[in-house]
């Protein structure tokens, strides 16, 4: 079982990184990755929401959805939207500074494909509660990792002389492609012979 | 939530034509000028994820088209009955319903392609294009115009998917819709059907779009000022 | 777009504040309630219409896979693994879909051909799911088919696309042993794919592990009568 958990964690964090390999969570990745600081905060907020989503999804899949499988998607999206609202309120109460720093990006977590993506993968792979939690922490760490890496690179090239046609999203996508290429090197690392 | 929505509005309408937009314009603007992917930069997740083959791109385009048009139709029809506070929740409910229907339909009709598309059919729910169009257009415009807008945006999305899908499949597998183009001697550029290839392809497509836009602005300005085009930072 | 404000009373006394809010709350709930009900109804209909087709697709895919790895049996039984035994009927109250299934194929004259077993584990990129046929009498494999894989196109995906690799499993003796390409010498050895060692090893490992667990179980399944 532990080998299983270790594989789930490592796979979701690097081998099948949500952003660089599975193309989830691209909106914040392309939008928020300008500064390392914001990137870290966004990554942390996402991980928090992911973990709570994993628990909620497990509960839904175990107790509620077997009776109405066609309501799966609606149930997931409602739960995610509610969780994000709750997280927003909690952050606002606990740390107004953080709330202001995250600004618009907090509600944007709802439409972050990564959260719903986690819910769907967790369901398809039939993960139990512990596996789901490890999956959530791993993918959250992966999202944060991708965000921070991208932010570091973007901060470094901020003053570089990029041709005008390539500025903006095109450049970020090229950097993302290079990162993705690098991450492909992680495949096969955990396979036992 | 409403801030998020205004963040996602498309390009502003052409100056001075806000109220006078002819219906044809509602339809056609989605094809290129306000293309949801290439210009508005929405819906990038599926654009990158499912375009490793043309077949997948086509099916995804059709599914998204169905959800977009159906949702816009319903949202625009019932907008009067939906209180402002719950409008986003209602939009999401409507969209999620149609996505679920689309998913069942795909599973029943084309199970192999459904398996290839994986989670991305369900992820149409959080495709910013759909929610964005409800908020920006269908929720505040008559039904006819909303449907035209949705059709235009849906076709624009399909166009973007097809461009990406064609490039990636031809270069990455040497085939188009499964039909081998170059014969067995061709060594396919496999990276194109892998994640990095998706990123690079989209980057170059956007680069081409930016280049084309600058050229068009440059040509428009030369007669006016007679001077070289001003370098503009891309949005 | 609806102007969300409730109609304000036009008399001189200011309207009591709680009232507009109360009206609004009930209209919010009504909208969501009605919307939810309609959505639910549409989905139940769609589900009902498509479920038979979806289940049929799934059953047919499984059916084709079983027939392929058991070398075209005349018929096959679906058996369920309960603990360390195979049973024909799932125990009372157990959901058959949650139990591990093994398929026993019969040839002409009710001859047993072998068992088809589904197994999966992590490969190079992600989980590989496969089905293989096994004959306990000769301890040989009858065939192997990859059901799901996300291995690298052009390299790892040759575990399912390379006929030379796949056909090696027919008649191979277990437990399998992977060897470098071209070095195959014994009935237990399987040539691995050059450049896809990890994917190849994963396939071998999946089969070996599954048989380690299930070979005693299928051996113990009581023999039928005539042959």
Interface contact B142, partner C, CB < 8 A: no
Hey, is C4 helix, strand or coil? coil
B234: confidence class by pLDDT, cuts 50, 70, 90:
very low
| pLDDT over 80 at A106, yes or no | no
In angstroms, what CA-CA distances link A191 with C37, C125, C151? 48, 9, 13
CB contact under 8 Å between C152 and A193, yes or no, is: no
Report the pLDDT value the prediction gives residue A134, as an integer from 0 to 100.
96
Model ipTM value: 0.88
Edge-to-edge strands, sheet with C75-82? C85-87, C75-82, C100-106, C112-122, C127-135, C140-148
pLDDT at residue A93 greater than cutoff 70: yes
The pLDDT of residue A68 is 86
- The whole-number pLDDT of residue C18 equals 53
Residue C26 and residue B216: Cα distance in Å, rounded?
54
C126 vs A7: CA distance, rounded Å: 10
Average pLDDT over residues B120-140: 89
Mean pLDDT computed over C173-198: 87
Q: Does any CB of chain C come closer than 8 Å to the CB of residue B181?
A: no
SS3 at position C107: coil
The verdict on a CB contact (< 8 Å) between C46 and B101 is yes
For residue C4, what pLDDT is reported?
Answer: 40
- Give the residue on C whose Cα is nearest the Cα of B83: C4
Question: Could you read off the pLDDT of B15-73 as tens digits, one per residue?
Answer: 544 556 688 888 999 898 899 999 988 889 889 999 989 999 999 999 999 999 999 99
Size of interface B-C (CB pairs under 8 A): 74
- Cα–Cα dist B59/C76, whole Å: 35
Report CA-CA distances (Å) from C144 to A24, B8, B92, C67: 33, 50, 44, 11
Q: Does B139 touch chain C (CB under 8 A)?
A: yes
Backbone φ and ψ for C142, nearest 5 degrees, come out as -100, -20
Report the gap between the CA of B128 and the closest CA in chain A (Å). Answer: 7
Q: Quote the percentage of chain A above a pLDDT of 90.
A: 40
Higher pLDDT, C90 or C226: C90
A neighbours by CB contacts (3+ pairs under 8 Å): B, C
pLDDT of residue B235: 45
Mean residue pLDDT across chain A: 87
- Give mean pLDDT, residues B211-215: 89
- Whole-model pTM: value is 0.84
Q: How large is the average pLDDT for residues C22-34?
A: 77
Does C52 or C31 have the greater pLDDT score? C52
Per-residue model confidence (pLDDT) at position B71 = 94
Among candidates B41, B100, B194 on the partner chain, residue whose Cβ is nearest the Cβ of A70: B100
**Dihedral angle over CA of B67, B72, B75, B80, nearest 10:** -170
Cβ separation of B210 and A117 shorter than 8 Å?
no
C143: region left, alpha or beta (phi > 0 left; psi from -120 to 50 alpha): left
Pairing of strands C189-191, C177-179: parallel
β-sheet bridge partners, residue C98: none
CA-CA distance, C30 to C135, in Å (whole number)?
63
Span A126-178, pLDDT tens digits? 899 999 999 999 999 999 999 999 999 998 888 888 888 888 889 999 999 99
User: What local confidence, expressed as pLDDT, does residue A107 receive?
Assistant: 76
pLDDT over 90 for what percent of chain C?
A: 31
Q: Phi and psi at residue C79, in whole multiples of 5°?
A: -115, 155
Q: Which residue of A has its CA nearest to C36?
A: A74
Rounded Cα distance between A64 and A84, Å, is 21
Kind and range of the H or E run holding C21: helix C18-69
Q: How far apart are CA C115 and CA C134, in angstroms?
A: 5
pLDDT score of A54 more than 90: yes
Residues 6+ away with beta carbon under 8 Å from B219: none
Give the closest-approach CA distance of A169 to chain B in angstroms.
Answer: 7
Distances (CA, A) of A148 to A19, A137, A143, C93: 12, 16, 9, 50
Tell me which chain B residues have a C-beta less than 8 angstroms from the C-beta of C152. Answer: 190, 194
What pLDDT, in 10s, does the model give residues B134-191?
A: 988 888 889 999 999 999 999 999 999 999 999 999 999 888 988 888 888 888 888 8
Rounded-to-integer distance, Cα A176 and Cα A97, Å: 30
**Cβ separation C2–B83 shorter than 8 A:** yes
What the block records as the tokens of B100 is 């679920």
Chain B residues closer than 8 Å to C4 by CB: 83-85
Confidence of residue B12 (pLDDT cuts 50, 70, 90): low
């Amino acid at each position: 079982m532990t080998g299983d958990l270790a594989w789930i964690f490592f796979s979701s964090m690097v081998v099948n990184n949500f952003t660089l390999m599975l193309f989830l969570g691209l909106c914040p990745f392309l939008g928020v990755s300008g500064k390392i600081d914001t990137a870290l905060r966004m990554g942390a907020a996402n991980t928090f929401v992911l973990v709570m989503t994993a628990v909620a999804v497990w509960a839904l899949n175990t107790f509620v959805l077997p009776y109405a499988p066609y309501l799966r998607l609606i149930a997931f999206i409602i739960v995610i939207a509610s969780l994000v609202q709750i997280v927003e309120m909690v952050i606002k109460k606990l740390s107004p500074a953080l709330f202001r720093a995250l600004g618009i990006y907090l509600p944007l977590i709802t439409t972050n494909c990564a959260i719903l993506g986690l819910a769907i993968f967790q369901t398809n792979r039939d993960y139990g509660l512990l596996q789901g939690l490890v999956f959530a922490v791993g993918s959250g760490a992966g999202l944060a990792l991708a965000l921070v890496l991208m932010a570091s690179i973007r901060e470094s090239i901020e003053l570089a002389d990029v041709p005008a046609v390539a500025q903006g999203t095109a450049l970020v996508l090229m950097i993302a492609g290079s990162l993705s290429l690098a991450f492909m090197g992680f495949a096969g690392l955990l396979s036992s012979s | 939530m409403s801030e998020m929505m205004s963040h996602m509005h498309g390009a502003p309408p052409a100056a001075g034509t806000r109220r006078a937009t002819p219906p044809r314009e509602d339809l056609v603007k989605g094809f290129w000028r306000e293309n949801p992917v290439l210009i508005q930069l929405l819906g990038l997740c599926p654009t990158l994820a499912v375009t490793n083959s043309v077949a997948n791109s086509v099916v995804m385009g059709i599914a998204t088209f169905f959800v977009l048009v159906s949702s816009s139709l319903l949202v625009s029809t019932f907008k009067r009955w939906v209180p402002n506070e719950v409008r986003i929740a209602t939009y999401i409910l409507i969209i999620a319903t149609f996505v679920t229907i689309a998913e069942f339909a795909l599973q029943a009709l084309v199970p192999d392609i459904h398996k290839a598309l994986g989670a991305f059919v369900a992820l149409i729910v959080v495709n910013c294009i759909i929610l964005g169009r409800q908020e920006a257009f269908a929720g505040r415009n008559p039904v006819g115009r909303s449907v035209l807008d949705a059709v235009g945006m849906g076709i624009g999305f399909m166009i973007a998917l097809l461009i990406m899908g064609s490039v990636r499949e031809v270069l990455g597998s040497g085939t188009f819709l499964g039909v081998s183009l170059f014969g067995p001697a061709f060594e396919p550029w496999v990276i194109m059907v892998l994640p990095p290839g998706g990123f690079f392809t989209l980057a170059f497509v956007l680069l081409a779009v930016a280049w084309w836009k600058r050229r068009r602005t440059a040509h428009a300005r030369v007669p006016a000022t007679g001077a070289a085009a001003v370098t503009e930072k891309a949005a | 777009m609806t102007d969300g404000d409730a109609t304000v009373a036009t008399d001189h006394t200011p309207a009591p504040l709680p009232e507009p809010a109360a009206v609004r709350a009930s209209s919010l709930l009504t909208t969501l309630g009605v919307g939810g009900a309609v959505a639910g109804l549409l989905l139940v209909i769609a589900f009902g219409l498509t479920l038979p087709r979806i289940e049929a697709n799934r059953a047919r895919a499984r059916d084709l896979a079983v027939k392929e790895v058991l070398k075209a049996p005349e018929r096959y039984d679906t058996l369920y693994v309960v603990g360390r035994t195979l049973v024909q009927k799932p125990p009372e109250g157990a959901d058959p879909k949650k139990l591990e299934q093994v398929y026993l194929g019969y040839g002409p004259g009710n001859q047993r051909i072998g068992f088809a077993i589904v197994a999966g584990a992590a490969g190079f990129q992600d989980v590989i799911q496969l089905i293989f046929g096994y004959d306990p009498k000769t301890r040989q494999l009858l065939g192997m088919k990859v059901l799901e894989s996300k291995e690298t196109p052009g390299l790892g995906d040759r575990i399912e696309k390379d006929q030379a690799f796949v056909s090696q499993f027919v008649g191979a003796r277990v437990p399998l042993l992977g060897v470098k390409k071209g070095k195959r010498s014994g009935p237990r050895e399987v040539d691995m794919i050059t450049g896809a060692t990890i994917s190849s090893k994963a396939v071998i490992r999946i089969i070996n592990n599954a048989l380690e667990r299930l070979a005693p179980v299928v051996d113990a399944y009581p023999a039928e009568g005539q042959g």
